[in-house]
Chains A and B, each alone.
Chain A
Amino acid sequence: MLSSTADCLFWLGRYSERAGNVARGLAATLRMALLANPLSAADEEWRALMIATGCEPGFRQRHPVLSQDAAVQWLALDPENPSGIAACVEAARRNARAVRTALTVDMWEAINDTWIEFRRLDSSAIKGDRLPGFLDWVKSRTLLFNGAAADTMLRDDAWRFCHLGTMLERADNTARLLDVRHAAFASDAAADAANYAQWQAVLRSISALRAFQHVYHARLSPAPVAELLILRPELPRSLLACYSRVEQTLESIAKANGGGRGECHRMAGALHARLRYGRIDAVLEGGLHDFLTGVIDQNMVLGQEIARFYLNGRQP
């Protein structure tokens, strides 16, 4: 496959996933902010989401004061925010159009219809009562795209690079969502209502509140929540599940492309192994924040290594 085609498919997977993730983050934060008055400052919630999505520096440049309206506008509709939903939809569609013939009709329609619909939106779409509906819609569009890809694509390199992007982005997102609330997982964190709400918010933002009950049959507490998100193979958004898919996918790409392997394969293997054989006690002891920033950094390097090996076009 052309390196540039692989590049577009990879970023199509990433941007489509990112749009859904930002919507999830927004929905969870909105809920926290509503409950916030007795528990913590609502603004703190919005600041936390900004940091988690990596959108804070750009936001601060344009908005001296943090307010819910400004934050939602920046994350959902402002095309100037490169990690906002609007820019993600635009970038996903641009990449999809460039490799239109590598996609199935269902995938193309999923992304193209989202784009068409998005262009019709005005700022009233995210005001007041309409915001939750809007966020559900974005989430459902990402689910539709992922479903269309999973159900209709040939399992060839086109599928692999798209899937690789989705999984890498998803791992990044899970790590960031957890990291932004790492304080609630510190060894001295009180088991009070405020922290309980934090643990809930983490689970809710990756649609795993119910899953927690199914796996642990217990009241929320920091170690199991962290374990579910980091080390449990059965949760599709856990770091372990994502890196397991990343490693597998890179392996099949290597096999389909002459068997050559590089730093990206080594890194993916190492990351996966560390999670597969890791223990949550050790992770928490070493500090959750340090662990997660380590993962986020390595995830970024892994992305660069994948680009270097497959997406930029090696020359002899």
Chain B
Amino acid sequence: MTKDAGNNVAERPASAFDEMRADGGIRPPYAEMARFLEATGQAALDQKRREAEVLFRRIGVTFAVYTEGGDPERLIPFDVIPRILSREEWERLSKGLEQRVRALNAFLADVYGPKEILKAGRIPAELVLENEGYLKQMEGFTPPGGVYTVISGIDLVRTGPDEFYVLEDNCRTPSGVSYMLENREAMLRLFPDLFTAHRIAPVNHYPEELLETLKSIAPATCQGDPKVVVLTPGPYNSAYYEHSFLADEMGVELVEGADLFVRDHVVYMRTTAGPQRVDVIYRRIDDDFLDPEAFRPDSVLGVPGLMAAYKAGNVALANAPGAGIADDKAVYPFVPEMVRFYLGEEPILSNVPTFMCEREADRDYVLANLDKLVVKLARGSGGYGMLVGPHATQEQRADFAARIQARPGDYIAQPTLALSTVPTLCESGIGPRHVDLRPFVLFGKSVRMVPGGLTRVALREGSLVVNSSQGGGTKDTWVLDDAPRCLQGAAARGKSSQTQTQTQTQTQTQPAGAVPGPLPGPGEN
């Protein structure tokens, strides 16, 4: 290896898998996209990006950041170049996701019930029972429908054509699904031609699937059509837009704690026509704040008496309180074991190898290899309190080493994965940027998913942190039902593209196999 080449490797230790270009060629799902990008050029794409921004601002898709001063209502940067998966890739992922979510639910039912997996010694009992995420109030109680994680967001990363890893499970109140839906709407408006050239699996039925799923976990005491509500901490919550968006799309009420009250272990909402009974609560409030009588007494966000009503079987909560024990970072390494234990299957999706600093051998390895590892808080979220070893300074690493030694139980570490990249529109042109994928899995009577999920992209060159609070953006995620058709250079050809679009629109409105009706005669238009 020459000296120069060596330098190159040092600068980019992550010889990342690019989802569009691999092995010098264009991967099939991106065939048409690559042609389109070639033909369209930076200026036109920049224009589209500006249009997208106006669109998002207008709709009010914002992410509230109230801690840093400045405009509290910010846009999450949206990249106009989509991330594309083939149907086969998605099929495999979705099987793995379903398997994983079933195992996580079986685990929750077990640890709040018979605790077989602990008795069998497959997971250390104290790791679960003494975990902050373990909610004693849930012991011996079976939630309506027996489901704990009605809505899960499973974060996946990719390192090669067939290598997908689960980075973490989100079993509490995963957010981001509104971006998945709004990104698709924006793309439909910005690039109608691209949609004609690709058969993209739709995602816009997610709210209906969510509503069906929520209704399916209504408690047995519910009579008639279940009354579903979305419970939000309020407009100052960073994800408030999503809460109101989902409530609106499902056609249910968006409530705050003060809109609800409990009488005789039944939950009601205060309406202009008097109290109205509530059967299912999709709550976007953390466990601690749900009910001041059961958890934090100083919480003003929750509903006094809610837990008692829940345990009386008069209301369903999605997700179940205590579900967080399943996505705890210390429990995460055992999820493959859960799959084997409860389902008797081999896990389809792999975990990222994880070192638990609590264990002496792991800790020694982590401290000796900080420059190669990603260190995370065992109970952190949002990319805060995280060290990306290869990108950190000597000082930052020393700081983390001290912290790990002081409180080893608080930290886990994982090898720095070479996250896959997808072409992304940047200041200086189109460049590869690292991405992850958060598919949303619904679980009621059955498992439901819409194809794809939310792709998050680290917009800073070389950065591996995709969190929106840390400068990450999002992309539309396409699952293609078959190979893309050639657009025949519609964008490049200028004038002729007009006719092309029109023909294609006509083709689309006439479903294959449909018998065409009579054409209107002259003057009958």
Residues of A within 8 A of B (CB): 1-6, 97-98, 100-101, 108-109, 112, 157, 161, 253, 256-258, 260, 310-316
Given contacts A4-B256, A257-B274, A312-B270, 18 further A-B contacts (CB under 8 A): A3-B272, A4-B255, A97-B235, A100-B244, A101-B244, A101-B248, A101-B254, A109-B58, A161-B272, A256-B273, A258-B273, A260-B274, A311-B272, A313-B271, A314-B275, A315-B270, A315-B275, A316-B263
Contact partner of A313 among B247, B248, B253, B259, CB < 8 A?
B259
Chain B residues within 8 Å of A109, by CB: 58
Within the complex, which residue of B244, B259, B273 is in contact with A257, where a contact is CB–CB below 8 Å? Answer: B273
27 A–B pairs (Cβ distance < 8 Å), ordered by A: A1-B271, A2-B253, A2-B259, A2-B269, A2-B270, A2-B272, A3-B259, A3-B270, A4-B256, A4-B258, A4-B259, A5-B253, A100-B60, A100-B244, A101-B247, A101-B248, A101-B254, A109-B58, A112-B60, A253-B272, A257-B271, A257-B272, A257-B273, A257-B274, A313-B259, A315-B275, A316-B274
Which residues of chain B are near A1, meaning CB under 8 Å?
271-273
Q: Which residues of B contact A311 (CB under 8 A)?
A: 272
Interface positions, chain B 243-288, Cβ under 8 Å from A, are: 244, 247-248, 253-256, 258-259, 261, 263, 269-275
The distance in angstroms between the C-alpha atoms of A108 and B247, with both chains bound, is: 18
A303 nearest CB across to chain B (Å): 16
Complex-state Cα separation, A264 to B261, whole angstroms: 24
Contacts of B263 in A (CB 8 A): 315-316
In residues 109-131 of chain B, which contact A (Cβ within 8 Å)? Answer: none
Q: How near does chain A come to B54, taking the closest CB pair, in angstroms?
A: 13
Which A residues touch B256, using CB under 8 A?
4
Shortest C-beta distance, B122 to chain A (Å), equals: 47
Collect the chain A residues with CB atoms within 8 Å of residue B60's CB: 100, 108, 112
- What residues of chain A lie closer than 8 Å to B258, measured between beta carbons? 4
Residues of B within 8 A of A157 (CB): 272
B271 near A3: Cβ-Cβ < 8 Å: yes
The 4 closest A-B pairs by CB, nearest first: A313-B270, A257-B273, A101-B248, A3-B270
Picked from B244, B247, B270, B274, the residue with its CB within 8 Å of the CB of A4 is B270
Contact across chains for B270 and A314 when beta carbons are under 8 A apart:
yes
Q: Mark B27-56, 1 if CB is under 8 A from A, else 0.
A: 000000000000000000000000000000
Which A-chain residue is minimally distant from B253 (CB atoms)? A2
Min CB gap A135→B, angstroms: 28
A109 to B54, CA, bound (A): 13
**Most chain-A Cβ atoms within 10 A of its Cβ — which of B60, B261, B269, B273?**
B273
Enumerate chain B residues within 8 angstroms of A108, measured Cβ to Cβ.
60
Chain B residues near A112 (CB, 8 Å)? Answer: 60
Contacts of B235 in A (CB 8 A): 97-98
Given contacts A101-B247, A315-B261, contact A6 B272 (CB under 8 A): yes
In whole Å, how far is B282's beta carbon from the nearest beta carbon of chain A?
Answer: 15
Kindly list chain B residues whose C-beta atoms are within 8 Å of the C-beta of A100: 60, 244
Q: Which residues of B contact A312 (CB under 8 A)?
A: 270
* Residue numbers in A under 8 Å from B255 (CB-CB): 2, 4
Cα distance, A101 to B270, chains bound together (Å):
18
Determine which of A2, A97, A316 lies in contact with B271 in the assembled complex, contact meaning CB atoms within 8 Å.
Answer: A2
Task: Return chain A residues, CB-CB under 8 Å to B58.
Answer: 109
Closest Cβ neighbor of B275 among chain A residues: A316
Q: Smallest CB–CB gap between B234 and chain A, Å?
A: 8
Could you tell me the distance in whole angstroms from the C-beta of B57 to the nearest C-beta in chain A? 10
Residues of B within 8 A of A315 (CB): 261, 263, 270, 275
Q: In the bound complex, what is the Cα–Cα distance between A5 and B269 (angstroms)?
A: 12
Q: Give every chain A residue within 8 A of B247 (Cβ-Cβ).
A: 101
How far, in Å, is B108 (CB) from chain A's closest CB? 32
Q: Which of B254, B271, B274 has the most A CB atoms < 10 Å from its CB? A: B271
Give A89 to B143 CA distance when docked, in angstroms: 46
What is the minimal beta-carbon distance from B428 to any residue of chain A, in angstroms? 32
Inter-chain contacts of A6 with B (CB < 8 A)? 272
Bound CA–CA A30/B235 (angstroms)? 39
Q: Which residue of A lies closest to B247 (CB)?
A: A101
CA distance A3 to B60 in the complex (A): 24
Q: How far is the CA of A6 from the CA of B258 in the complex (A)?
A: 14
Q: State the CA gap A314–B253 with chains docked (Å).
A: 18
A137 to B254, CA, bound (A): 34
Interface-centre pick from B235, B247, B253, B254 (highest chain A CB count, 10 A): B254
Q: Please name all residues of chain A whose beta carbon is closer than 8 Å to the beta carbon of B273 when the two chains form the complex.
A: 1, 256-258, 260
Given contacts A4-B259, A97-B235, A101-B248, contact A310 B270 (CB under 8 A): no
Chain B, residue nearest A5 (CB): B253
Instruction: Tell me the chain B residues, 444-469 only, with Cβ under 8 Å from chain A.
Output: none
Chain B residues near A256 (CB, 8 Å)? 273
Residues of chain B within 8 A of A316, CB atoms compared: 263, 274-275
Minimal beta-carbon separation of B255 from chain A (angstroms)? 6
B227 vs chain A, min Cβ distance (A): 12
Residues of B within 8 A of A2 (CB): 253, 255, 259, 269-272
What separation, in Å, do the CA atoms of A101 and B252 have in the docked complex?
A: 11
Q: How far is the CB of B301 from chain A (nearest CB, A)?
A: 14
A5–B272 Cα distance when bound, in Å, is: 9
A259, closest chain B residue (CB): B273
Inter-chain contacts of A5 with B (CB < 8 A) = 253
Min CB gap B259→A, angstroms: 5
Bound-complex Cα distance A2 to B271 (A): 4
Enumerate chain A residues within 8 angstroms of B270, measured Cβ to Cβ.
2-4, 312-315
Closest to B234 in A: A98
Residue of B nearest to A1 (CB): B272
> Chain A: which residue is nearest B241 at the CB level?
A100
A208 to chain B, nearest CB (A): 34
Please provide the chain B residues from 342 to 389 with a CB less than 8 Å away from any CB of chain A in the complex: none
Give the shortest distance, in Å, between B181 (CB) and chain A (any CB): 15
A279–chain B nearest beta-carbon distance, Å: 37
CA distance in complex: A1, B275 (Å): 10
Q: How far is the CA of A183 from the CA of B259 in the complex (A)?
A: 47
